[in-house]
Amino acid sequence: MSSSPFDARRRAVSRLEASSGPLRDGYDVAMLDLDGVVYRGEDAIDHVAEALDAAIAAGVRLAYVTNNAARTPDAVVAKLRGLGMPTDDDSVVTSAQAAGRLVAGLVGPGARVLVVGGAGLVHAVEEHGLRPVESAEDDPDAVVQGFSPDLGWAQLAEGSYAVARGIPWVASNTDGSIPTARGFAPGNGTLVAAIATATGREPRVAGKPYPPLFDETVLRVGGSQPLVVGDRLDTDIEGANNVGADSLLVLTGVTDLDALVAAAPPTRPTYVAPDLRALAWPHPAVEVGPEAARCGRHSVLAVDGAVVADGAGVGADDHQGAVEVLRAAVALAWHRRDHVSGESTRRLDLGAIRAALEPWGVR
């Protein structure tokens, strides 16, 4: 896509980037993941609505970008508004929409597409003038697959029969798990794997971490300087790196501190923060060496396999301090893993950093 801001495409991240002013000032659109960033299950995450209102007031467009293909964009908009989140009618972009565009490019106008999934996929297929069908006996020209909590063996079997014929097969995403109120449950990736196992084929994938969903977002929402905001390293952050976009990882969802410091360069974010309020804060540069790192007023040290804060903990009202301690700890851990012999396979003890950031809920 010649007008895309993602022309640079794939890159790896070796160090955190810095922002001398509010982070949001450097970007014209925030591409926000939903579960784990904006809400958890059915409940809004604290402070998010206020942070997003402030971002809009500062001139940032919002795009809510989700790998969940089960619901239509209108249904997601309704949920967001019910939670008090600022949203326009067209600010939600789903992997189903990206999958619909991807499959439309593989078949002719009016083609029959077997939908293995829910209402979100049916709507996306129809949006591109394609005809959704429910059975391999309907002689489909392609198969599109996405998550639905109601998906059962019969639909998977129909998908397998059709995919085995060699026709195009597009998956909305391959997430291995989805968060629920009771914990993590099997995601669309497990359902895709069922058809792949039965047929010996692999699908084209539209959702994060692959480019189509990011390109779809630019087409629908616009923006020339995007910031991808997510809670998952292997979808949100790796996806941002796959298209050369800057990213902010927030620790309100799936990723904990251990996973963050152990991340390899392809899945490292360019910014990290305890929560979404960090859009309004500076992210000072980190001075880092083998044994210590300093960010703003705060330093951390490497001591006997542990990373410790050089000073007291960070209070619940010390927004800047929380960002600085977290950035220093992550920068030091990455530096040691990349440049200190033997550290790449060693599990660092981060208990002292968690204790320092306890008021911020960092796990």
Q: What's the pTM?
A: 0.91
What would the DSSP string read from start to end of 4-49?
Answer: -TTTT------S---BSS-GGGG-SEEEE-SBTTTEETTEEPTTHH
Segments making up each domain of the chain, as ranges: 23-67+209-280, 96-205, 286-360
Q: Under CATH, which number does the domain 96-205 receive?
A: 3.40.50.1000
Query: Does the fold of domain 96-205 match that of domain 23-67+209-280?
Result: yes
89 is catalytic: no
**Candidates 3.40.50.300, 3.40.50.1000, 3.30.70.141, 3.40.50.150; CATH matching 23-67+209-280:** 3.40.50.1000
Give the pLDDT confidence score for residue 71 in this predicted structure.
87
Residue, of 200 and 184, whose pLDDT is higher: 200
Q: What mean pLDDT is reported for the chain?
A: 93
Question: Residue 4: is its pLDDT beyond 80?
Answer: no
| Cross-strand pairs, 145 | 116, 171
In this predicted structure, the answer to whether residue 294 has a pLDDT above a threshold of 60 is yes
Mean pLDDT, rounded, for 289-301: 95
Active site (annotated) includes residue 35 = yes
Share of the chain above pLDDT 90, in %: 84
Q: What pLDDT band is residue 281 in, cutting at 50, 70 and 90?
A: very high
pLDDT tier at 2, thresholds 50, 70, 90:
very low
Catalytic residue among 35, 215, 246, 275: 35
Cβ neighbours of residue 344 under 8 Å, at least 6 residues apart?
337, 338
3-class secondary-structure state, position 131: strand
162 vs 137: CA distance, rounded Å: 8
Catalytic residue among 33, 141, 231, 236: 33
123 pLDDT band, cuts 50/70/90, is very high
CA distance 55 to 85: 12
Indicate if the pLDDT at residue 3 is higher than 50: no
